[in-house]
C-alpha cells in the first residue's frame, strides 16, 4: 500500500493506493476492501478525496505515463485530469528553429503538446493529428525540418506533417509508396530541409523521402537482422550512417546470435558500404556524427536485449573502432557547434568536451529516466530532456 485518503464527512469510507494493483476502497472502516480501479501497472503515488470525487496520482513507468485520474462514481470509471500538467512520459522534444523558445513534446498515451517561453507554459494544440484507430493516443517522435518550415510527428504509429506550425496536419503518404505505417523511427536531415527518413516494421524497413514526405523510396543498407538507428553528417549532407545488428555466424541462426554493424552511404542512401567489422558488441543502438567532421562517428553499443554496454568511436568513417572509457550511455547528441557531446545513463546526464576521452556528470532530471536528449539549436550550453516525468532543461 502506498497511500490512503478518507472521504470528508464519512469516516467509514477510505481509499487505498497500491503499486501495481490500482486503488481499493472500504465503506466499513476497513473491515472489507474491494478493488476500485484504475487497474494500471504503474503505482498509485497519492490519493485525495472530496465528498464527490476521488483523485489518484499515477507514477510514470516504462512506456506508461503518470498523471492524475479522477473518479466521480466511487471508482467505477476514471478520467484523466492532465490538461496543462506535464508530469507525463515525454518521449521526444524539439525546438522551433526560428523561435527556440517554442517547444513541442511528444508524450506516450497523451499526444502532442506545445510549449512557450522555453517550456514554462504548455498547451494541447487546437488541431492535432487525429488517431486512426481506437487504440490509445500516443505521439512518439516530433521534429522540425532543417529550415523550420515543416513539423513532423509520429502519431499512433503513422507519420504526420504540418506546414503551418501545427495548425493543420496531413498524413505523409505518397501516391505510389506508403512506408510511414507503423513508424518506429524518424530522422529529419540536419541540413537538407527536404530530406526525411522513416523506419518501420520493427526495424526491418527503412525509407527516405527527398520531397518532405510526398514520395518515398526504400533504402537497403544490407543488415542481415535489423537496423536500430540512422545518423546524417551535417558537414557532408550526402553522408549517412546506419546502425543495427547482423548475424554473428551462419544465417541459419536466424539472428539469435548477433553482432553490431554500421553501414555508410555517401550518396544519400542510394548505395551502402559496410564499415569494417563494426564496433564490438551485439548491436549498434545509436549513432552521432561530429558536426564538423563527417568521418568522426560515435556509436552506442548494446547487448542482445537492448541494454547499453558502452560507447565506441571511429575517426575513419567507421572502418575501425575503439572503445571509449565512459559510462554506459545512450542518446548521444552534439551541442550546437559540436563542442560538447552529451549522453545519459538513466536519469543522469553526462558531457564530454574532448571527443569522448573524459566525461563529467552534469546532474539530471531528478529520478526520471531520459527518453531523448535535444540540444538547443542556438545556445550550446542548454540541453532539453524528454523524460518519464515531463520535459526538463539544463542550462
pLDDT at residue 61 tops 50: yes
What are 100-157's pLDDT values in tens digits?
Answer: 778 888 877 677 888 877 776 777 776 667 655 555 567 888 899 999 999 998 887 7
- Give residue 159's pLDDT: 86
Q: Please, which pLDDT band fits residue 355 given cuts at 50, 70 and 90?
A: very high
2: left (phi over 0), alpha (psi -120 to 50) or beta: alpha
Straight-line distance from the first to the last Cα atom of the chain, in angstroms, rounded to the nearest whole number: 38
DSSP character string of 53-99: -EEEEEPPBTTB--EEEEESSTTS--EE--TT---S-EEEEEE-SS-
pLDDT at residue 266 tops 50: yes
Looking at the DSSP bridge assignments, the partners of residue 209 are 196
Q: Are 298 and 285 in contact (CB under 8 A)?
A: no
Average pLDDT for 350-373: 90
Give the Cα separation of 242 and 265 in Å (integer).
8
Give the Cα separation of 286 and 144 in Å (integer).
20
Q: Where are the domains of the chain?
A: 3-80, 90-394
Give the Cα separation of 42 and 45 in Å (integer).
9
- Give residue 62's pLDDT: 45
pLDDT at residue 174 tops 60: no
Nearest alpha-carbon partner for 132 in 105, 171, 167, 94: 171
What are 187-203's pLDDT values in tens digits?
Answer: 999 999 999 998 876 66
Q: How far is CA 332 from CA 184, 312, 349, in A?
A: 18, 11, 10
Average pLDDT for 12-18: 87
Report CA dihedral (304, 386, 315, 187) to the nearest 10 degrees: 90
Looking at the DSSP bridge assignments, the partners of residue 244 are 227, 261
Report CA dihedral (385, 386, 391, 393) to the nearest 10 degrees: 10
Q: Residue 119 — φ and ψ, nearest 5°?
A: 95, 5
CA R_g for the chain: 23
Torsion sign, CA atoms 271, 280, 359, 307:
positive
Q: Are 104 and 86 in contact (CB under 8 A)?
A: no
* Order of strands, sheet of 196-200, starting from the edge strand that comes earlier in the sequence: 183-188, 196-200, 205-209, 217-219
pLDDT at residue 28 tops 60: yes
Q: How far is CA 273 from CA 152, 205, 296, 387, in A?
A: 29, 17, 16, 35
pLDDT at residue 66 tops 80: no
Grid cell, residue 3, equals 497511500
CB proximity list for 236: less than 8 A, separation 6 or greater: 266, 294
Grid cell, residue 383, equals 540541453
Give the Cα separation of 208 and 381 in Å (integer).
32
- Give residue 239's pLDDT: 97
CATH number of 90-394: 2.130.10.10
Q: Please, which pLDDT band fits residue 311 given cuts at 50, 70 and 90?
A: very high
Mean model confidence pLDDT for the chain: 83
Matching residue, cell 510527428 = 153
* Percent of the residues in the chain that have a pLDDT greater than 90, as a whole number: 27
Nearest alpha-carbon partner for 381 in 392, 394, 366, 364: 394
Pick the more confident residue, 395 or 271. Answer: 271
Q: Please, which pLDDT band fits residue 299 given cuts at 50, 70 and 90?
A: very high
- Give residue 114's pLDDT: 84
Q: Which of 86-95, 136-145, 252-261, 378-387 is most confident?
A: 378-387
Q: Are 330 and 344 in contact (CB under 8 A)?
A: yes
SS3 state of residue 41: coil
What are 274-296's pLDDT values in tens digits?
Answer: 998 888 888 888 999 999 999 99
Give the Cα separation of 366 and 19 in Å (integer).
20
- Give residue 343's pLDDT: 93
Grid cell, residue 74, equals 466511487
- Give residue 60's pLDDT: 62
Lowest mean pLDDT across 174-183, 191-200, 309-318: 174-183
How many residues can be counted in the chain?
A: 395
Amino acid at each position: 500500500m502506498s497511500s490512503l485518503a478518507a472521504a470528508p464527512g464519512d469516516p467509514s469510507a477510505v481509499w487505498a493506493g497500491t503499486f501495481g494493483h490500482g486503488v481499493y476502497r472500504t465503506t466499513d472502516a476497513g473491515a472489507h476492501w474491494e478493488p476500485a480501479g484504475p487497474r494500471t501497472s504503474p503505482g498509485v503515488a497519492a490519493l485525495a478525496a472530496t465528498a464527490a470525487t476521488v483523485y489518484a496520482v499515477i507514477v510514470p513507468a516504462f512506456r506508461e505515463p503518470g498523471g492524475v485520474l479522477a473518479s466521480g462514481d466511487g471508482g467505477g470509471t476514471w478520467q484523466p485530469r492532465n490538461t496543462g500538467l506535464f508530469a507525463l512520459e515525454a518521449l521526444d522534444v524539439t525546438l522551433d528553429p526560428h523561435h527556440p523558445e517554442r517547444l513541442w513534446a511528444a508524450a506516450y498515451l497523451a499526444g502532442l503538446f506545445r510549449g512557450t517561453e522555453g517550456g514554462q507554459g504548455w498547451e494541447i494544440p487546437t488541431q492535432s493529428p487525429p488517431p486512426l484507430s481506437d487504440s490509445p493516443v500516443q505521439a512518439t517522435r516530433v521534429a522540425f525540418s532543417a529550415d523550420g518550415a515543416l513539423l513532423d510527428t509520429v502519431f499512433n504509429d503513422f507519420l504526420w506533417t504540418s506546414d503551418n506550425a501545427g495548425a493543420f496536419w496531413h498524413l505523409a503518404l505518397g501516391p505510389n509508396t506508403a512506408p510511414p505505417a507503423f513508424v518506429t523511427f524518424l530522422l529529419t536531415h540536419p541540413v537538407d530541409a527536404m530530406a526525411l527518413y522513416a523506419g518501420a516494421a520493427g526495424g526491418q524497413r527503412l525509407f527516405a523521402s527527398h520531397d518532405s514526405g510526398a514520395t518515398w523510396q526504400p533504402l537497403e543498407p544490407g543488415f542481415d537482422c535489423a537496423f536500430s538507428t540512422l545518423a546524417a553528417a551535417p558537414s557532408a549532407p550526402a553522408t549517412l550512417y546506419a546502425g543495427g545488428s547482423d548475424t554473428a555466424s551462419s544465417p541459419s541462426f536466424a539472428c539469435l546470435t548477433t553482432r553490431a554493424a554500421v553501414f555508410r552511404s555517401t550518396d544519400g542512401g542510394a548505395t551502402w558500404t559496410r564499415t569494417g567489422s563494426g564496433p564490438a558488441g551485439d548491436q549498434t543502438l545509436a549513432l552521432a556524427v561530429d558536426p564538423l567532421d563527417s568521418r568522426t562517428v560515435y556509436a552506442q553499443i548494446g547487448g542482445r536485449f537492448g541494454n547499453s554496454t558502452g560507447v565506441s568511436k571511429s575517426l575513419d568513417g567507421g572502418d575501425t573502432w575503439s572503445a571509449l572509457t565512459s559510462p554506459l550511455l545512450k542518446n548521444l547528441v552534439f551541442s550546437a557547434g559540436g563542442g560538447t557531446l552529451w549522453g545519459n545513463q538513466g536519469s543522469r546526464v553526462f558531457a564530454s568536451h574532448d571527443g569522448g576521452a573524459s566525461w563529467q556528470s552534469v546532474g539530471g532530471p531528478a529520478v526520471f529516466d531520459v527518453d531523448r536528449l535535444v540540444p538547443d539549436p542556438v545556445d550550446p550550453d542548454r540541453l532539453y530532456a524528454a523524460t518519464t516525468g515531463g520535459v526538463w532543461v539544463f542550462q
